[in-house]
Structure 1
Amino acid sequence: MTIPGSIVPPARLLMGPGPISAYPSVLTAMSAPLVGQYDPFMTATMNETQELYRQVWATTNDATVLVDGTSRAGIEAAIVSLIRPGDRVLVPVFGRFGHLLTEIAERAGAEVHKIETEWGKVFPASVIEEAIVRVKPTLLAVVQGDTSTTMLQPLDDLGAICAKHGVLFYTDATASLGGNAFEADAWGLDAATAGLQKCLGGPSGSSPITLSEKAVAVIRSRAKIEAGIREEGDPDAADFVRSNYFDLGMILDYWGPRRLNHHTEATSMLYGSRECARLLLAEGRDAVITRHEIAGAAMLAGVEALGLQVFGDVAHKMTNVVAVEIPEGVAGDAARGAMLDDFGIEIGTSFGPLHGRVWRIGTMGYNARKDTVLTTLAALESVLRRFGASVPAGGGVEAALDVYAGV
């Protein structure tokens, strides 16, 4: 066979729903030399990263670590470690990723109860509380920001509701953390997971997670797994975590002072994760959220000025992604292909009932910037016109500039 040359990716501006273009310093950090997993520098870096992510999550949780793997690895670790087979789990579904939480919980042996709402909407807290009273779940598992619909589920009232009814409260914040408000302690979260490839501005491959003392107690109650053997017919078999790699009890021991070997930490991803958090905190949590809000508002104004219909309840839209209806008569996939081929800009389609119906345009992380917003809108205007849509010349760019001029 012919041996290929070194990898040389094409220049791309990733303006879809994620992954996005990483901060340059994150990529630089990931090229730093490796050290051994128990090297003092390595363990010190792990400790630093934990403290940085406590600030990112707005928590004092000691159990704040990374799960090596994509954001789905963090989701699975949280769910399989917090529930036992037969436990009831309530999942409010308002997009594709609610269905993902459902599937993972079902695979873990849970009795899953779903409530669903129309894509493009979110749930009032009262509806979720009514379902909690009816279902009596062990765990409420809810997505904060679902990029398939671009909706942001309010979480601030749910912690008190869960505490009142004795329910563990978990959220997947993969698409929202860093670009939207998130207050783990103030909102009463027991567990939250995320990924780097959205607002945090890194590559996929590491999943920050934070766990309350209550969640850790539940995980520790299943510590029989550390004995290493499960007897056939053991009446307490349900207490065993079904995964070794995603057993948070073992992962916490690896990150904790005992440093019990569980896996070899993904060193380059640790460096990248640390840099994502460092950049966010150096700029300031509130400042980063504001930057996402402004970029998102500029993109929203721009697509509306181009005559595109925005999908969903804009009042509950994430700051960092907007979905627009593909104009009638425009070949959606071909137009996206033209954005990529002619301008090097990637925007997204969607899933399920929205596949082929909407485009999703992201403004997040490193790409939540004025120049990227304007460049994307200018390219989109050109492509729309070429595909037969009637759009005002320069309208999108001018509307976005007006937003920036007003801040």
Structure 2
Amino acid sequence: MSSGGIVVMPAGAVLSAGAAVVLTAAAAAALTVWAANQAAEAALRGLGNLGESLERTAEAQAAAAIAALRWPRVAAEVVELNARLRLLTERASRAGVAVAIPEPLVLAGRTEQEAATWAARAAPLLRAAAEAVAAGCAATESERLAAGLPESIRSAPGTAAALSRLQQTLRDRHRTAAPAPAPARPAAPAPDLDGILRTLDEDATEQERLTVLRTAALAGGAAPAEARAYVRQLRSRVAELNGRAERRRLAATLVTALEEPVVVRTPPPGPYGGTAARLRAVIGGQADLTEELLTEASGALRWAETVIRAAYVRETVSACLAEQGYTVDAGDPAELRLSHADWHGEHSAAVWVDTAGTVHGRLEREEDVDGDEAAGRDRERCDTFTADLAVLAGRLDAEVVVDPRHTPQRRARTAPVTVPVQRPKAREVR
């Protein structure tokens, strides 16, 4: 017995077991892709948001499973905050406003506590930076708002003060609103423009803010019958723009996963060659996240998950084999080359991960040696290598499948090793 395959358990369980202390690059990428997948699935299924999805997942699990989900929960929060920071950076750049915006967090090399602490600090900093961007745009926004109104409204007494109040409402919409003072005498009910403005998404762009402000100003300056039509229009526009902001946020989450270094280094299948660029166009406001693009991005994420999972398994396999006394050469992206001091240069081994995430191993000769003594060493080292694969399988909580018919052959120097399972080419390793 000398070659085998390790059927790795589902990616979520691998992450829970393997990313408990400090995240390696592959484990961090896996969590990023996992979070993006959760967001995409929630959008495709029409669920509320990623937080609701995670809550439902947690409620359905036992206490041990909830504890295992802690890292993914923290990672999901970090991924969402990183996406929002990216959107705010885009907004500030388009508006030409210089604002101190926190840097996104790279999960690789972080502990769970470090990531959670960063998220707790980044959320209020993000809010403050967003308010600074809005304040920096206030003067220009005021000029553009007034210029877009009919002269009859623009020149009316009190219009400037009303516009200023609407802008202030929009800037303060996520703070706790003070109760309005009771009117001195009964008055005809006025449209709750402030209440509608407060529902505008935090990630709305400056142009979208201008759109709703203009509609609110028209409603405030129109006759009652006409004002009611403007109020309906305002509600409709806020709902529409909130949807666009949510889709931009989702696009920023999805593209983050596709921009992980290990994914970028792996050429994607044809259908996903331009997916990341199309998502970046959504983030930049040049396009919207259509149902077709969301479906395409979800497929790209599934592909990215196979790339990340293979990288994570390969990383774990390499570390485990090194602990078992093997010298690991990870220079070839297609496979790990192993040597062992006890083999005295007579044998080497190849270990690789296929596109399904299964690990394969094979012992090979470095030189042709005949005779019963050489055959005995072949069998002994084959059995030892297979046993070590079994230990590796135990570390991964996986099943090992061996090929008892294999006899070590001289290693091919210029061509891939022939194996029962089709090996991927270097650029197709997942």
Bin of the TM-score, shorter chain as denominator length: under 0.3
Q: Give the structure with higher Rg (CA).
A: 2
> Quick check: which one's strand share is greater?
1
